[in-house]
A = this chain, B = another copy of it.
Amino acid sequence: MLKKAIVLIYDGLGDRPVDSFGGLTPLEYAKTPNFDKLASRAECGLMHTLGRGFRPGSDTSHLAIFGYAPAEYYPGRGPIEVAGIGLKMADGDVAFRGNLGTVDENMVIQDRRAGRIRDVEPLTKALDGLEIDGVTLIAKPGTAHRAGVVLRGEGLSSAVTDADPHEVGQAVWEVKPTDDSPEAKRTAQILNKFVAKTHDVLNKLEFNKERQSRGDLPGNCLLVRGAGQYRSFPSFKERFGFSACCVAGGGLYKGVGAFLGMDIIDVPGATALPDSDIEAKFKTSFKQLDSHDFIFIHVKAADSLGEDGNPEGKAEFIAKCDKAMALFNNLPKDTLLAVTADHSTPCELKQHSADPVPVMFYGEGVRVDDVTEFGERACAKGSLGHIEGKDIMPQVQNLMGRLHLIGA
């Protein structure tokens, strides 16, 4: 009987026919004997992650796959990124993604990343706990120039625009409410005061003076974007009864895992880039099966290569992933493996698309079909037919005999 599950998500894996590949997609074109061997012992299908005809973001697609309907649970990007850097949110918090940037005396951006500063901890520490009008600013360092930012207090709203103008040479934007509520108006006002204050505080900071004396740009303004309000909800463990962990290189995916209450497992060499050590991720995942019922593995680079419009690179990366897939020959017998993508990222489009992605379930009790190749068109003929992201977790539960009975 199946007791554990691994859900392995290849970001942006799906694609469209590539002329130079004789009309094959990168996944169909790449040499993938290990993917195909698994497929030939799996039940296969195609997945429209958010439903047919919807073009998924990376955050929403993962929420859907893990059983959290984005329409109900998606809080915007801020809370997910903030969760990813380990910041615990409370009901009503408004969270933002943040950069420590460099601005001049007129608040015009000189560098959005403060000269690619490596560690912003001394800067966020100076900001963390600032208070304005009864609202507290919480700021924690992210990777490199990034920070997680939370406003905590009564009567806040996420209906506000960004302060980060996203472009050098532009002045920091005045934050504006995007609806007519008094909460949005108040949040915008307070946030504008905070942005000005971060400049005041950071400009005076010894740490920045030292940077400038070395010729480095100071991190003298907190640029925020992607406001989202956090509302507490049942964690993945509370929903499904699985102790779960997330094995990912990319910050956003760790964020999704942390947001849902999964343990975040760091793997040396997991870079979220084409050079990422996929085998290390799989080996770590197998070890985590000792202490977790459910492992979410995320592999990023197929998506980035699709966005680069690089089908050769994408096919090459897929072939590299295939080599690592050989490790699943040793999958424990009590463990289910589901392999899929969050969405397609066709090289031709250089962006996410609504094209469905292949999916396969492999393990004891699965109704193995006669698909022998893990590809977009091969999987279209699988017994699963066309499914949606929301169908993944019920099928995991079903194969384990853990679904609630409707009726008697």
Residues of A within 8 A of B (CB): 1, 16-17, 23, 25, 46, 50, 52-61, 70, 74, 77, 226, 346, 348-349, 351-355, 364-370, 376-377, 380-381, 383, 385-387, 390-391, 393-395, 397-398, 401, 403-408
The answer to whether A354 and B398 touch across the interface, beta carbons within 8 angstroms, is yes
The answer to whether A398 and B353 touch across the interface, beta carbons within 8 angstroms, is yes
The answer to whether B58 and A352 touch across the interface, beta carbons within 8 angstroms, is no
In the bound complex, residues from chain B placing their C-beta under 8 Å from that of A395 are 53, 354
In the bound complex, residues from chain B placing their C-beta under 8 Å from that of A61 are 407
CA distance in complex: A408, B80 (Å): 11
Task: Known contacts A394-B53, A408-B58; decide if A403 and B367 are in contact (CB<8 Å).
Answer: no
CA distance in complex: A16, B77 (Å): 41
Checking B226, B354, B385, B408 against A57 with a beta-carbon cut-off of 8 angstroms, the contacting residue is: B408
In the bound complex, residues from chain B placing their C-beta under 8 Å from that of A352 are 405
The answer to whether A54 and B353 touch across the interface, beta carbons within 8 angstroms, is no
Distance from A19 Cβ to chain B, minimum over Cβ atoms (Å):
9
In the bound complex, residues from chain B placing their C-beta under 8 Å from that of A366 are 16-17
CA distance in complex: A385, B386 (Å): 7
The answer to whether A407 and B353 touch across the interface, beta carbons within 8 angstroms, is no
In the bound complex, residues from chain B placing their C-beta under 8 Å from that of A346 are 365
Checking B60, B383, B387, B404 against A377 with a beta-carbon cut-off of 8 angstroms, the contacting residue is: B383
CA distance in complex: A26, B355 (Å): 32
In the bound complex, residues from chain B placing their C-beta under 8 Å from that of A368 are 17, 23
Can you name 14 extra interface pairs (CB under 8 A) apart from A367-B376, A385-B386? A1-B349, A17-B365, A17-B367, A17-B368, A54-B403, A55-B404, A56-B407, A57-B408, A59-B408, A348-B364, A349-B401, A353-B398, A370-B377, A381-B381
Task: Known contacts A54-B394, A55-B398, A403-B55; decide if A365 and B408 are in contact (CB<8 Å).
Answer: no
Task: Known contacts A53-B394, A367-B355, A380-B369; decide if A70 and B407 are in contact (CB<8 Å).
Answer: yes
CA distance in complex: A55, B407 (Å): 9
Chain B residue at minimum C-beta to C-beta distance from A54: B406
CA distance in complex: A403, B365 (Å): 38
The answer to whether A398 and B355 touch across the interface, beta carbons within 8 angstroms, is yes
